[in-house]
Amino acid sequence: MQLIDKYNMSATSFPATLTEALQNTAKGNKSITYIKAKNDELTISYAELYDRALHLLYQLQQAGVKQGDELILLAENNEQFVDVFWAAILGGIIVVPLNASSQNTAHKRVLSVFQKLNKPFIWTSADALQQLLKYADEWQQGALKPHLQAQSLLAEQRMPDQNKANPAEIKPQDTAFIQFSSGSTGEPKGVVLTHHNLMSNIRSILIGSKATEDDVSLSWMPLTHDMGIIGFHLSPLVLNTDVYLMSSELFVRRPNLWLDKISEKKATVSASPNFGYQHVLKYFKPEKQSHLDLSALRLIFNGAEQISAALCREFNATLKPFGFKENVIFPVYGLAEASLAAAFTEPAAAVQSIFINRQHLQLGDHIILSSEQQEDSLEMVLLGSAVSDTGLIVANDAGQELAELTLGYVLIRGDNVTQGYYDDAELTAATINAEGWLDTGDIGFIYQDQLVLTGRLKDLIIVNGQNYHAHDLEQLCETLSEMGEQKAAACTIPGDNGEALAMFVTYKGELDDFIPLANAIRAVLAKDAGIEVAEVIPVSAFPKTTSGKVQRFNLSNQFIAGEFVATLEQLHQLSMPQADLQQSEAGSIEQQLMQICKEVMPERQIVPTDDLFEIGISSLSLTQIHERLDQLFPDQIDLTDLFDYPSISALASFLEQQSVDRE
């Protein structure tokens, strides 16, 4: 049954709140299944979910949490997240989902949000709380510790309880949850979303994706991300369809399991940003996948970062023998301020793209159409038109709509769009104008009634589907003793398969002296932010506005225009001799390990004695290296061994000793 039949296209017959949606769905027989491993799954019906949430709500209330209170949700797995999320929603408790990562940037974010909110409670684990308290000590925020401890609700203390709470009286205008992202100063900004915002956008998502009650959703997107929680939990639940959730960590470790489960469950709808396609392709072995049947797939939402048409074509071609259709990849555009969705392409269409001249990408420029063969051409993916009940225009500085093929600011408005930011009237006023148009911070143009994005003026870095703030990354770099008085600027540049991070550094010395500084920058960003740097580029000065603000967008444009090609070639050549200082014996374990690292990080020059963490390995690359090692040396190495033996030579010695011990 199509959504158009179920709800007769009438917003009045659509659930008005999330509480009403779950109560409706609990009357059916559909379910949510948590995929924990290849042969480890847990299925919970929506009726059971409703019951579990009411039991947990009672415990929250007994702990002193009341309707209207705020609850920071630091869940360690999807099952826990969903249970606590719905307990809070049913109780009128405002949910604040945050990443429970153990990285310093995640801890900093939690403490910043904790201080910004109005005496929030925190749902977390005992171990995560101890890590948070330790971080507070290390970063001179020890005064927060008593408040953190007093407001924490530990998952381990949850006990089976026969008592159930009654759902609170919820109104559409009540706040459901707050999505926090980084603001213009690096401090988190809270996007406040009401039940009405969410239900309006969910209805638009279901209509725009031509959803039906026969759909089966399967996703590995994190539930702390709007695509994960709204697109692949709330939307399927509202429609009353079966949904399968696997963790992002499981996907990173076993990317082909995503395809295996799509095939096994006959999933029709899934999602992945660019890096997910790239990650799958790295490990995909057609000769070992004869069992795959992807013919049931109808859509894979592709958003969260700049979309690569070339990568989509490669993914299509690789999976075509397994029933994958060329119109499955579904380019979309969204942002937290829109709840989730702002623009959709036509679900039945293949990915569409155009070529433009990359030398005409300043605000107000008329876009020059080009071709693949022409010099300075840049391929851009079309992102469709505004979803139903949402307005979307490209405008100038004055907020006036621009003609097609004119580069400007992307503005949106509608019932799905937030009315403002948490406790930040100044930011709200600067972002939403008198006519209700919200400035997304993205820039782009309209081509044949479809949106094309070219970049961002807001200082948000999105790499591998994860959000980082330029200011935070720059501050991490500038704490390095090697930086001295030099300054750093972070921005995205085109990578092989989507957006990548470049760090620009003011520098006037010799290039060969720059290499240790570049390595230190890679290391600190990998360690403290969990992000890999594609290029570290020395520049004499930053382009700035008349008020002195760094124009990161212009740095990215200069990179695209090829202005740093000669400098990067010199840096790569200067790094080359270091890679030849030590030669591994042909066929040795060390040489095999070197080959794995070259495959995972082809752009990096690595010698056997390099500490992988000091040269800036990302968590994704680390996991990929471990996967290759596990294939080469089955059951001989744990992921934690890479921390104990962080260089190629040390790891090779460890594996050689393992072999001796087994003899």
Considering the domain architecture, whether residues 452 and 466 belong to the same structural domain is answered as no
Considering the domain architecture, whether residues 597 and 537 belong to the same structural domain is answered as no
* CA 130/CA 144 separation, integer angstroms: 13
Considering the domain architecture, whether residues 148 and 205 belong to the same structural domain is answered as yes
Is position 30 within any domain?
Answer: no
Is position 275 within any domain?
Answer: no
Considering the domain architecture, whether residues 476 and 625 belong to the same structural domain is answered as no
**Which of 556, 579, 602 finishes a domain?**
579
Considering the domain architecture, whether residues 452 and 464 belong to the same structural domain is answered as no
Residue 10: pLDDT band with limits 50, 70, 90: low
Look at 11-25, 412-426, 489-503 and tell me which has the smallest mean pLDDT.
489-503
Considering the domain architecture, whether residues 90 and 188 belong to the same structural domain is answered as yes
Residue 186: pLDDT band with limits 50, 70, 90: low
Is position 296 within any domain?
Answer: no
Considering the domain architecture, whether residues 431 and 415 belong to the same structural domain is answered as yes
Residue 305: pLDDT band with limits 50, 70, 90: confident
Look at 254-258, 365-369, 512-516, 602-606 and tell me which has the smallest mean pLDDT.
602-606
Percent of residues, the chain, with pLDDT higher than 90? 55
0.95 exceeded by the pTM? no
Report the pLDDT averaged over residues 368-390. 91
Considering the domain architecture, whether residues 77 and 202 belong to the same structural domain is answered as yes
Sequence letter at residue 326: E
30-67: b (≥16 Cβ within 10 Å) or e: bbbbbbbeeeeeeebbbbebbebbbbbbbbbbeeebee
Domain count, the chain: 4
CATH number (domain holding residue 609): 1.10.1200.10
Is position 283 within any domain?
Answer: no
**Which of 557, 579, 601 finishes a domain?**
579
Which domain, by its residues, includes 103? 46-211+224-237
Top pLDDT among 518 and 57 is at: 57
Look at 250-264, 328-342, 553-567, 585-599 and tell me which has the smallest mean pLDDT.
585-599
Report the pLDDT averaged over residues 305-324. 91
Q: What is the pLDDT of residue 275?
A: 79
Is position 298 within any domain?
Answer: no
Q: What is the mean pLDDT of the chain?
A: 87
* Parallel, antiparallel or unpaired: strands 353-357 and 377-381: antiparallel
Decide if pLDDT at 594 tops 60. yes
Query: Per residue in 460-498, pLDDT tens?
Result: 677 776 767 677 688 788 878 888 878 899 988 887 667
Q: What is the pLDDT of residue 148?
A: 95
Residue 306: pLDDT band with limits 50, 70, 90: confident
Long-range contacts of residues 311-314, Cβ cutoff 8 Å, at least 24 apart? 311/274, 311/277, 311/278, 311/497, 311/498, 312/277, 312/351, 312/381, 313/351, 314/277, 314/281
Sequence letter at residue 274: N
CATH number (domain holding residue 136): 3.40.50.12780
Angle between helices 18-25 and 78-90 (to 10 degrees): 110
Decide if pLDDT at 192 tops 80. yes
Comparing CA positions, the residue from 492, 443, 440 lying closest to residue 466 is: 492
Considering the domain architecture, whether residues 416 and 509 belong to the same structural domain is answered as no
Q: What is the pLDDT of residue 578?
A: 44
* CA 320/CA 317 separation, integer angstroms: 5
Is position 264 within any domain?
Answer: no
Is position 266 within any domain?
Answer: no
CATH number (domain holding residue 422): 2.30.38.10
Considering the domain architecture, whether residues 600 and 575 belong to the same structural domain is answered as no
Neighbouring CB atoms inside 10 A of 112's CB total: 17
Decide if pLDDT at 102 tops 90. no
Top pLDDT among 604 and 249 is at: 249
Is position 571 within any domain?
Answer: yes
**Which of 394, 421, 456 finishes a domain?**
456
Comparing CA positions, the residue from 419, 402, 411, 416 lying closest to residue 437 is: 411
Considering the domain architecture, whether residues 150 and 190 belong to the same structural domain is answered as yes
Query: Per residue in 597-613, pLDDT tens?
Result: 776 766 566 778 877 76
Considering the domain architecture, whether residues 84 and 233 belong to the same structural domain is answered as yes
